Amino acid sequence: MRYNREDIISTLKLRLSKKRFTHSLNVADAAVRLARHYGEDEEKAYIAGLVHDICKEIPHSEQLVMARNCGLSFTETEALAPPLYHAPAGAYYARTVLGITDEDILMAVRCHTIGRAGMSPLEEIIFLADLISEERDYKDADKMRRLAFENRDKAILEALRFQLPDVMRKQSFLPMQTVEAYNFYLQKEKENQ
Ligand SMILES: [Fe+2]
Ligand SMILES: [Fe+2]
């Protein structure tokens, strides 16, 4: 299916700050490169990358209502963590406003912050693209960029190894999906040793 890229990009421009707009384009670009590398659907990767943060600048109270109605499960633990709302809210927005019906794209948007056990290739690509987009300049960004193209499972595990303690350090609530993702990708790594 072809999506109307121009319409989505102009909606993003209206909804996001310049900085987050650039981030979204960069994530879409990274997602396409990962999809090409791994033989996955580049169009879906581009669209999911574009829209993943589309709700991030809406007030949390509105994000929460959208998240609860995303139709892709939203847990009470997530409801305790406002920074996580934008992902399920984004899936809701993509479905109801942008008319995106592809469940894989919607799940990729929904899972991009917290992950889950057994993500689809597209979900994994968006999870990683968000961490390796061009403007990211955290300490190990280049290492993560290399790893994302070498071994998706390992890259996700590495990201979760950083993410879990970070959530705890910030005294934020830890969604079970992230813990389950960690166990899932750790088990995969151990099986491949
Ligand atoms: Fe996000
Ligand atoms: Fe993002």
Over the stretch 106-137, which tens digit does the pLDDT of each residue have?
A: 999 999 999 999 999 999 999 999 999 999 99
b/e 128-148 (16+ beta carbons within 10 angstroms → b): bbbbbbeebeeeeeeebbebb
Separation of CA 193 and ligand 2 centre (Å): 32
Q: What is the pLDDT of residue 3?
A: 82
How many CA atoms are closer than 13 Å to the CA of 102, on its beta-carbon side?
15
Separation of CA 85 and ligand 2 centre (Å): 13
In this prediction, residues 42-63 reach a mean pLDDT of 98
Ligand nearest, relative to CA of residue 90: 1
Give the integer Cα–Cα distance in Å for 17 and 58: 11
Separation of CA 112 and ligand 1 centre (Å): 6
In this prediction, residues 18-32 reach a mean pLDDT of 98
Q: Is the pLDDT of residue 167 over 80?
A: yes
Ligand nearest, relative to CA of residue 113: 1
Separation of CA 26 and ligand 1 centre (Å): 13
| Overall pTM > 0.85 | yes
Separation of CA 191 and ligand 1 centre (Å): 30
Q: What is the pLDDT of residue 77?
A: 97
Separation of CA 21 and ligand 2 centre (Å): 10
Cβ distance 155 to 144 under 8 Å?
Answer: yes
HEC string of 130-190 equals: HHHCCCCCCCCHHHHHHHHHHCHHHHHHHHHHHHHHHHHHCCCCCCHHHHHHHHHHHHHHH
User: How many other CB atoms sit within 10 Å of the CB of residue 167?
Assistant: 18
For domain 5-191, give the CATH number.
1.10.3210.10
Separation of CA 54 and ligand 2 centre (Å): 9
Separation of CA 181 and ligand 1 centre (Å): 17
Element (H or E) spanning 61, and its range?
Answer: helix 60-68
In this prediction, residues 8-26 reach a mean pLDDT of 97
Average pLDDT, the chain: 97
Q: What is the pLDDT of residue 44?
A: 98
Separation of CA 188 and ligand 1 centre (Å): 25
Q: What is the pLDDT of residue 1?
A: 66
In this prediction, residues 21-28 reach a mean pLDDT of 98
CB neighbour list of residue 29: distance below 8 Å, 6 or more residues apart: 49, 133, 134
Domain boundaries of the chain, sorted by first residue: 5-191
Q: If pLDDT is split at 50, 70 and 90, which confidence band does 181 have? A: very high
Ligand nearest, relative to CA of residue 26: 2
User: Which two tokens mark 89?
Assistant: 């809210």
Digit-coded pLDDT (tens) for 130-156: 999 999 999 999 999 999 999 999 999
Q: What is the pLDDT of residue 193?
A: 83
